[in-house]
């Protein structure tokens, strides 16, 4: 007696070691499994996903197929159904957007990443500079980075995706477990969280930000103490550069940093800078953000102006160089998917606007 065929339509992203696709790509895998027990069929489907180097975001469909309807669905589905009924697990894969670039193929656009050297240029443009050895107490203890007028500033760079830390993932999973769907998945939407849940979430994801600012405070304090006899009027501040914490929205970064600094007697302000890139292999956008984005408090206003003029210069040079990064490359934002106790949690970045879709719409007018 032939088995029933279960069909699973699953939204997915490639694993880091996927042989053909990049992590920033997303798609759908349709799996046909010949198995009467749907729970067992789902186990087999998830094993097949793992073998194909896909990570599950969420199920879009889980159904037991009815043969009379399948035969009306086209040759590809009918053949997959027959093969699954005979004992094979059959998969049909499709990316959300055309795979213009596979792994190993050079991209036509490589975005530049903001680095400490870039911030050096910004500080120099406002008349600031790196501390001298004497001002930094000859590096006997960790000291701050810059001097701008009467301010001593420390730069901290968020270079890595902090939600890849397993303990942080476990805390997020426990916090949001009640939101998990019946298919044991959750695409995290911060706007849907309650006020208490959002506060608890920010406590978890804000740990690396608080650690960086705690360190910045200590370094600025050491410099101010060293210079207090000769220049007691000096004040302190910090710059946070987010070049790698991709799941941290810029506005949330600034809100968290600002709330920390408001409780500090050493740091008078914090400047937050973010850069990120979205791509589908064909369309690419590079975006920057600076906060506080308004106000005339010195030296923030001067640094803000120098930042945007430096970005403009950098991007003009980038365009003249054929959209190739001269230094560090900015990795595109990618979905983050992790599992905990059998549940799948995902944070999905937006995709860039498609010029191909825009051209199609224009032709149809």
Residues sharing a CB contact under 8 Å with residue 48, sequence separation 6 or more, in sequence order: 31, 33, 89, 91
Rounded distance, CA 310 to CA 9, Å?
47
Distance CA 253, CA 255 (A): 6
Cα separation, 39 vs 97, whole angstroms? 31
> Where do we find the tokens 């900015």?
330
- Residue 166 φ then ψ, to 5°: -60, -40
Over its length of 365 residues, how does the chain's per-residue pLDDT go in tens digits? 468 999 999 999 999 999 999 999 999 999 999 999 999 999 999 999 999 999 999 999 999 999 989 988 889 999 999 999 999 999 999 999 887 877 877 777 888 999 999 999 999 999 999 999 999 999 889 999 999 999 999 999 999 999 999 999 999 999 999 999 999 999 999 999 999 999 999 999 999 999 999 999 999 999 999 999 999 999 999 999 999 999 999 999 999 999 999 999 999 999 999 999 999 888 899 999 999 998 888 899 999 999 999 999 999 999 988 888 888 889 999 999 999 999 999 999 998 988 876 545 555 55
Beta strands in the chain (DSSP E): 5-14, 27-34, 54-64, 89-95, 129-130, 146-148, 151-158, 185-187, 235-242, 267-279, 284-291, 336-340, 343-347
pTM, 2 dp:
0.90
For residue 266 the two structure tokens come to 């050493």
Give CA–CA dist 237/216, Å, rounded: 8
Q: How far is CA 343 from CA 57, 184, 185, in A?
A: 10, 5, 6
CA distance 81 to 70: 8
Q: Give me the residue spans of the domains in the chain.
A: 5-95, 116-320
DSSP state of 108: S
Q: How far apart are CA 25 and CA 14, in angstroms?
A: 7
What three-state secondary structure class fits 8? strand
């Amino acid at each position: 007696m032939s088995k029933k065929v279960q069909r699973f339509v699953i939204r997915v992203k490639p694993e880091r070691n996927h042989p053909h696709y990049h992590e920033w790509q997303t798609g759908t895998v349709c799996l046909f499994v010949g198995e009467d027990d749907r729970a067992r069929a789902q186990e087999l489907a998830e094993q097949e996903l793992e073998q194909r180097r896909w990570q599950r975001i969420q199920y879009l469909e889980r159904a037991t197929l009815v043969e009379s309807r399948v035969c009306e669905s086209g040759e590809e589905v009918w053949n997959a159904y027959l093969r699954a009924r005979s004992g094979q697990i059959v998969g049909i894969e499709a990316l959300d957007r055309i795979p213009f670039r596979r792994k190993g193929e050079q991209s036509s656009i490589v975005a530049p990443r903001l680095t400490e050297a870039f911030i050096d240029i910004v500080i120099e443009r406002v008349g600031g500079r790196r501390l001298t050895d004497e001002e930094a107490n000859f590096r006997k203890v960790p000291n701050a980075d810059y001097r701008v007028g009467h301010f001593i500033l420390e730069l901290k760079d968020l270079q890595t995706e902090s939600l890849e830390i397993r303990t942080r993932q476990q805390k997020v999973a426990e916090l949001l477990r009640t939101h998990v769907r019946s298919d044991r998945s959750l695409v995290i939407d911060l706007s849907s969280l309650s006020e208490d849940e959002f506060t608890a979430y920010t406590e978890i994801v804000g740990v690396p930000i608080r650690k960086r600012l705690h360190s910045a405070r200590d370094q600025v304090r050491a410099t101010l103490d060293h210079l207090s006899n000769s220049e007691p009027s000096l004040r302190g501040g910090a710059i946070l550069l987010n070049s790698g914490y991709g799941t941290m929205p810029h506005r949330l970064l600034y809100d968290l940093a600002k709330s920390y600094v408001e409780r500090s007697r050493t740091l008078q302000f914090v400047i937050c800078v973010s850069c990120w890139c979205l791509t589908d292999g064909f369309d690419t956008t590079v975006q920057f953000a600076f906060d506080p984005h308004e106000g005339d408090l010195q030296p923030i206003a001067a640094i803000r102006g120098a930042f945007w003029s430096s970005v403009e210069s950098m991007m003009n040079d980038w365009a003249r160089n054929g959209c190739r990064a001269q230094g560090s490359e900015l990795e595109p934002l990618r979905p983050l998917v992790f599992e905990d106790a059998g549940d799948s949690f995902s944070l999905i970045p937006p995709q860039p606007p498609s010029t191909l879709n825009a051209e199609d719409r224009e032709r149809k007018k």
